[in-house]
Amino acid sequence: MIRRTFQAAMSLGRHRVLPGAPYVLPKLNPTSAFGSSTDSLVSRLCQRKTDKKDYALPNASWCPDMLNLYQEFLEKTKTEGWIKLPSFKSNRDHIQGLKLPFGLAVASDKSDSRIFTRCIQEEGQGYEYVIFFHPSEKKSICLFQPGPYLEGPPGFAHGGSLATMMDETFSKTAYLAGEGLLTLSLNIRFKNLIPVGSLAVLNVDVEKIEDQKLYISCITQSRDKQIVYAKCSGVFLQLQLEEESPQ
Amino acid sequence: MIRRTFQAAMSLGRHRVLPGAPYVLPKLNPTSAFGSSTDSLVSRLCQRKTDKKDYALPNASWCPDMLNLYQEFLEKTKTEGWIKLPSFKSNRDHIQGLKLPFGLAVASDKSDSRIFTRCIQEEGQGYEYVIFFHPSEKKSICLFQPGPYLEGPPGFAHGGSLATMMDETFSKTAYLAGEGLLTLSLNIRFKNLIPVGSLAVLNVDVEKIEDQKLYISCITQSRDKQIVYAKCSGKEVLSLSPHSVLAT
């Protein structure tokens, strides 16, 4: 069985992209190059009628910094246009009825899979995080508290755990901002170690959308911005999800 | 409390570096720029007298490709100079009696911490991996099988799970090859998705050591090399001391 590669998917996808000049992201245009409005993408990802548990909610393991900043952004969801994204145990729960396009999808056992950032179920031991997204500004903020199962150097988060948090935040942001679906590249510069149990704040911005690619960047800092933990830039491939064929 | 930053640690360390031209890694020189021999670094990391469990051993969840390639490299540990690295539940177990230098270390609860790549204890559900290192060639190979708790796109490994596997393999390789200690940067180009439960092979090479930095690269492929999953280049900062780390 020949599986379709990214490259094949890209060339197939090119036939479906609207012709025209490179698409520089205007702040007030809610429609992505592919025609799906931001509203409909947000609706789809947020699954408002689902009964699935939302893990992006405060619990006893959250440090004071994280609780405070969470409350601040919760206020902003009422007054300044921010949206709190839910976070389900599996990515499948975020895209019910849809699948990867162009033959990339595989039949696989759905029963016991988890999205990597929710792989550890015990409160406070692994990833504690919540993402807020701003639809018209095309930016997001992720509050991230790494637990003791995420260690690299003793007492500090593993570099890979932050790389993963960046990739996941990019992933959700790129999808909502312009149907960015698959990570093409990540370029991470680490500046400082994040102590286990402390809050790291990821500020993410979509830079531009061009040639079926979405360019995105992130700076990760302490809450007071006095310590920069890392900077990252990423590129995502724009692809539309397909409807699953009826079972 | 002012915590020391990478930058502060690097400038402190600069005073201790042996003067001389940039250090290009010779294949047959087993001594790192700082005087610790590869043998002693390998001994330290491998903790041969420990009673800690080694997780880098076959179990029922390993796919046939992984088992076969593992056996191939096990043979090479007898005949071609490769070393199989043990993998403990916590990085603290790898460096017993030692700590991070230059005030970077923090007092922290040791009782319930895990190295990220061993965070999931159930066989086959998270990371299954083993790293083989070649001391004189300064290269390593990591056999990596992502389980269903590492998902991103349904049925495939999360990009971050591969980034983590690269960072961890770089980390151990850089340490053994030249006392590389902390990751400064990672530049990853993803080419294809890795199906959950299949084998991905990471081939890692140390490119050079220069200005207290170790340059390292990796290509991740299917076993038959027909599918390239990703390429990555990284930089590690060296531990910055002739006597590497301070004893507690």
The CATH number of residue B144's host domain is 3.10.129.10
- Higher pLDDT among residues B22 and B107, named by residue: B107
DSSP-H helix ranges across chain B: 6-14, 38-46, 64-79, 91-94, 159-178
Confidence of residue B22 (pLDDT cuts 50, 70, 90): very low
Indicate the burial class of A191 (C-beta count within 10 angstroms; 0-12, 13-18, 19 or more): middle
- Asked if residue B142 is part of any domain, the answer here is yes
Of A108, A120, A156, the CB nearest to B119: A120
Q: What is the pLDDT of residue A98?
A: 83
Question: What local confidence, expressed as pLDDT, does residue B194 receive?
Answer: 96
Q: Quick one: average pLDDT of B209-213?
A: 91
Q: Where are the alpha helices (DSSP H) in chain A?
A: 6-14, 38-46, 64-79, 91-94, 159-178
Helix (H, G, I), strand (E, B) or coil at A72: helix
Q: How confident is the model at residue B29 (pLDDT cuts 50, 70, 90)?
A: very low
**B39 within a domain of the structure (yes/no):** no
CB-nearest partner of A119 from B3, B113, B149: B149
pLDDT attached to residue A13: 53
With bands split at pLDDT 50, 70 and 90, how would you rate the model's confidence at B205? very high
Would the pLDDT of B110 be above 70?
A: no
pLDDT of residue B33: 47
Q: d(Cα A84, Cα A70) in Å, to the nearest integer?
A: 10
Q: How confident is the model at residue B169 (pLDDT cuts 50, 70, 90)?
A: very high
Give dist(CA A124, CA A86) in Å, integer. 18
Angle between the N-to-C axes of helices A159-178 and B159-178, in degrees from 0 to 180, rounded to the nearest 10: 150
Q: What is the pLDDT of residue B12?
A: 53
Q: Distance, in angstroms, between A136 CA and closest chain B CA?
A: 26
Number of structural domains chain B divides into: 1
Q: Do B5 and A161 touch (CB under 8 A)?
A: no
A and B: number of Cβ contacts within 8 A: 205
The mean of the pLDDT values for chain B is: 84
- B239: Cβ–Cβ under 8 A, 6 or more apart, which residues? B13, B34, B101, B179, B180, B181, B245
Distant-in-sequence, close-in-space partners of B88: CB < 8 Å, separation ≥ 6 = B47, B50, B52, B53, B54, B55, B94, B115, B118
Taking the C-alpha atoms of residue B204 and residue B220, their distance in angstroms, rounded to an integer, is 9
Average pLDDT over residues B85-112: 80
When comparing pLDDT for B208 and A3, which is higher? B208
What does the pLDDT read at residue B2? 42
For chain B, percent of residues with pLDDT exceeding 90: 63
Say which of A105, A161, A189 has its CB closest to residue B164: A161
Examine the residue annotation and report whether B224 is marked as an active-site residue of this protein. no
Q: Does B167 contact chain A (CB < 8 Å)? A: yes
Pairwise CB contact (< 8 Å): B153 & A91: yes
Q: For chain B, count helices (H), then strands (E).
A: 5, 7
Give the H/E segment covering residue A208.
strand A200-210
- Residue-wise pLDDT for B35-80, tens only, equals 578 888 888 888 888 889 999 999 999 999 999 999 999 999 999 9
Please answer yes or no on whether A160 and B158 come within 8 Å at the CB atom: no
Cβ–Cβ below 8 Å for A106 and B195: yes
The pLDDT of residue A12 is: 57
Nearest to B203 by CA among B240, B166, B241: B166
One of B65, B93, B167, B211 is an active-site residue; which one? B167
Nearest 5°: phi and psi at A55? -85, -10
| The pLDDT of residue A233 | 98
Residue A108 has its nearest CB partner, among B5, B114, B196, at B196
| Residue B1 resides in a domain | no
Asked if A5 and B191 come within 8 Å (Cβ–Cβ), the reply is: yes
Taking the C-alpha atoms of residue B36 and residue B39, their distance in angstroms, rounded to an integer, is: 8
Check whether B81 has a pLDDT greater than 50.
Answer: yes
pLDDT band at B18 (very low <50, low <70, confident <90, very high): very low
Question: Does the beta-carbon distance from B104 to A153 stay under 8 Å?
Answer: yes
Residue of A50, A31, A129 lying closest to A95 (CA atoms): A50
Q: Do A150 and B119 touch (CB under 8 A)?
A: yes
Nearest to A32 by CA among A168, A166, A214, A171: A214
Residue B164 lies in a domain: yes
Q: What is the pTM of this model?
A: 0.87
State the best of A10, A128, A183 to mutate against chain B, taking most chain B CBs within 10 Å: A183
The pLDDT, as a whole number, for residue B9 is 57
Range 104-123 of B in CB contact (< 8 A) with A: 104-110, 112-117, 119-120
In which domain, by residue range, is B133 found?
Answer: 53-238
B217 near A CB under 8 A: no
Q: Tell me the two tokens of residue A128.
A: 């504690």
What value does the CA radius of gyration of chain A take, rounded to a whole number of Å?
18
Q: Is residue B48 part of a domain?
A: no
B247: in domain: no
Q: What is the DSSP letter of B218?
A: E
**Confidence at residue A99, expressed as pLDDT on a 0 to 100 scale:** 83
Domain assignment of residue B23, yes or no: no
Residue B41 lies in a domain: no
Set A109, A167, A211, A224: catalytic member:
A167
Say what percent of chain B tops pLDDT 70: 79
Q: Chain centroid to CA A200: how far? A: 16
Planar angle of CA A172, A176, A179, nearest 5 degrees: 95
Reading chain A (247 residues) residue by residue, the pLDDT tens digits are: 344 567 656 655 554 444 433 333 333 333 444 567 888 899 888 888 888 999 999 999 999 999 999 999 999 999 999 999 999 999 989 888 888 887 777 777 666 899 999 999 999 999 999 999 999 999 999 999 999 999 999 999 999 999 999 999 999 999 999 999 999 999 999 999 999 999 999 999 999 999 999 999 999 999 999 999 999 999 999 988 888 777 5
Q: Given this model, what pLDDT does residue B136 score?
A: 93
| Residue B199: predicted pLDDT | 98
**Structure-token match 């400064």, residue found:** B184
Q: How many CB atoms lie within 10 A of CB B89?
A: 17
